[in-house]
Amino acid sequence: MRSRRRTFLTAATAAMWGCRKDARQSQPAPQVGWRPIGAWSGRGDSQTDSFNIESGGWRIKWETKNETSPEAGEFRLTVQSAVSGRLIKEAVDHRGAGRDIAYLNDDPRLYDLVIQSHDLDWSVTVEEAVVYYSR
């Protein structure tokens, strides 16, 4: 009788474990989305309004075009603290027409962008990283 009970318990335990979902599989996978923060455009030097980044992760999409002479245009974008004016990072230093994305990861705070541009049009979009879970 003991042997039969032990066999039953072993079989029942194996069946339970076989049917149990792995806890990692039942958790939704984290995904990253991007929330628009601000957009600016112009020609020549400029400084943006301040904006708040709460998550610490963000990106800057930028584009330059309409040079008056090939390879004469210059575009430099620096990120600074909107409170102290301290330089955080030089995010872009580019000559000529082009486009790219600069990714930043820093403390949550108020920021602004300083744009130095010569001989071309520019546009800049800031987006904040937002983590969400999907099934």
Measured between alpha carbons, how far is 91 from 15 in angstroms, rounded to an integer? 56
One digit per residue, the tens of pLDDT, for the chain of length 135 reads 444 433 333 444 444 445 555 555 677 888 889 999 999 999 999 999 999 999 999 999 999 999 988 878 999 999 999 999 999 999 999 999 999 999 999 999 999 999 999 999 999 999 999 988 886
**What single letter denotes the amino acid at residue 24?**
R
| CB 60 within 8 Å of CB 114 | no
pLDDT of the residue at 127: 98
**Phi/psi at 108 (5° precision):** -60, 135
State residue 24's pLDDT score: 56
Q: What is the pTM of this model?
A: 0.77
Q: What residues does each domain of the chain span?
A: 28-134
Third-level CATH fold of 28-134: Jelly Rolls (2.60.120)
Alpha helices in the chain (DSSP H): 2-19, 23-26
